[in-house]
A and B are shown apart, each in its own frame.
Chain A
């Protein structure tokens, strides 16, 4: 039995938009074990991305607690939360969100600029990350010189380069064709199975969700169904 890495208790999140309060998550309890590959599914507006943002430390709950590996991150200040994210979470976005002015290598290096690693050590770690995603030969290419699948691989290399425990993926295949999407999902599976990364992935795509070990469905801010594959 794996230990619980992520624990949410009574988590609610509401936003005010156009003077109206919108309840996005409603008293949600969730435990995610270390080494899990979880697919979060549900209709638009169900709260998937909000839940992902809370787990990734990008946002804070209105009420409730988000405890990750023993750290109640809802209590952290903005600066401490930034430092915590840098150490513990890798992010993969639907549209890759690479810096267009930097090469693949320099994009992957970004999280390491916040560490005390030497330039040589950073270079070595970047090379390893690019090797893992199969893009060692594209290190000096800028994003516009890469295909969508390659861009997403660079984004994944950036997410894993500082060796975080958790990977947070928001529709990582949403901008890709089926074949490329499958390649990316297999890569995520490898990172989960071979490298022990805990992955939480938001997706609309049932086929993508099949790559996960567990599927969770949300609707109107509540968990409605769980399926173990």
Chain B
């Protein structure tokens, strides 16, 4: 600890260079925090703890629909309080860049299973009564300037109408919000009237993409999921029932092997950082050879000098890791609400991974300059040889 002041002062002797190096490290660890949190979320096993809702999808893929006859059977499973169903619409509003999710739903079932959505009674009534209607989330309405009564045309990428037209027009029957700030932030999707959609679509009638199950008791999530899947086992429409969290993860897994992608990206990032920080450390020690020789002259041992240089590398890598992970935690907190994934930089595992990465990086970048400092000969270094 007595040497900390000297190590700290040496680290910041060239403030601009250190600041830039630190910035690279912060960026690297910010990426590390974000990507590793995603990877951890995707590699986690099924977790039914505290789940108050389950999602049932086709066992093969959620892109395959399930027959509506499943609805009654699922409703009959002990522990299930209510069931809603939804079908992905996949529509484009004006431009593909305007992407937002749309699901065809049965209005009353939606509000029973998702009481977190808030919509006024008159608007609920409009949604029920107007066939070609939709309700939009408050965030979405704000984004596109929609108000109740507006006609919104959507170009479906999946579903043609009976006459082969892919353009569907829906009247905005209401604008829903969330019960709290989190749900309000998620109100960026659109619900379409399922009855109208099912009647008008050219194929796939009488089927829905997924069922949402509201549970009587969250401690029964695992057993209800098992009972539902067992019920349809060996049928042409086998199911897979999981928590909303795991369903969301599965949705994003369509992109590919997230863990592998994350590892590739992190490898590239850290290899680049290794070169950047390694070069900085080497340059920093090279400039200080006479000073290190003076320290040895004063009685600092080879080992002490080696540890001082390694400590500098560790200090800057740890600083970068802590600041970068701090930013990642803030971003993940916001992102987990927005995309409804259990992303968190608050867990111990992730922070330990970051500290281990910082430690490994510091050894990798510090070992050569530290060895050079350790082995330098005082007489030669003082003479500038």
Q: What is the interface of chain A, defined by CB distance below 8 A to chain B?
A: 53, 56, 58-59, 78-79, 82-83, 85-87, 91, 93, 97, 99-102, 106, 110-111, 113-114, 158
Contacts and interface: CB of A to CB of B under 8 A. Distances in A.
A197 B81 CA distance: 93
Specify the main secondary structure of chain A where it touches its partner: helix
Contact of A86 (B294, B299, B302): B299
Contacts of B43: none
B5 A79 contact: no
Contacts of A79: 301-303
Contacts of B9: 99, 101-102, 106
Given A58-B297, A79-B302, A110-B298, A97 B290 contact: yes
A216 B3 CA distance: 40
The 5 closest A-B pairs by CB, nearest first: A86-B299, A101-B9, A97-B294, A101-B13, A82-B301
Nearest to B302: A78
Nearest to B296: A82
A99 B291 contact: yes
Contacts of B296: 82
A91 B300 CA distance: 14
Contacts of A86: 298-299
Specify the main secondary structure of chain B where it touches its partner: helix
Interface residues of B, number: 23
Contacts of A78: 301-302
A106 B301 CA distance: 19
Interface string B1-34: 0110110011011000000000000000000000
A111 B6 CA distance: 12
B302 A91 contact: no
A45 to B, nearest CB: 12
Nearest to B305: A82
Given A53-B379, A99-B291, A106-B5, A82 B300 contact: yes
Contacts of A97: 290-291, 294, 382
A142 B301 CA distance: 25
A99 B6 contact: yes
Contacts of B303: 79
A58 B377 CA distance: 9
Contacts of A91: 294, 297-298
B379 A59 contact: yes
A192 B225 CA distance: 91
Contacts of B290: 97
Nearest to B294: A97
A86 B291 CA distance: 16
Contacts of B3: 113
Contacts of A113: 2-3, 6
Nearest to B303: A79
Contacts of B295: 110
Nearest to A170: B382
B299 A83 contact: yes
Nearest to A54: B379
Output the residue of A59, A82, A99, A106 with the most chain B CB within 10 A: A82
A85 B5 contact: no
Output the residue of B295, B297, B302, B303 with the most chain A CB within 10 A: B297
Nearest to A100: B13
B350 interface: no
A121 to B, nearest CB: 12
Contacts of B335: none
B5 to A, nearest CB: 7
Nearest to A101: B9
A167 B291 CA distance: 19
Interface string B332-346: 000000000000000
A3 to B, nearest CB: 25
A111 B378 contact: no
Contacts of A102: 6, 9
A114 B379 contact: no
Nearest to B12: A101
Nearest to A80: B301
A100 B6 CA distance: 11
A109 to B, nearest CB: 9
25 contacts: A53-B378, A56-B297, A58-B297, A58-B382, A79-B301, A82-B300, A83-B299, A83-B301, A85-B297, A85-B299, A86-B298, A93-B382, A97-B382, A99-B6, A99-B291, A100-B13, A106-B5, A110-B295, A110-B298, A111-B298, A111-B299, A113-B2, A113-B6, A114-B299, A158-B298
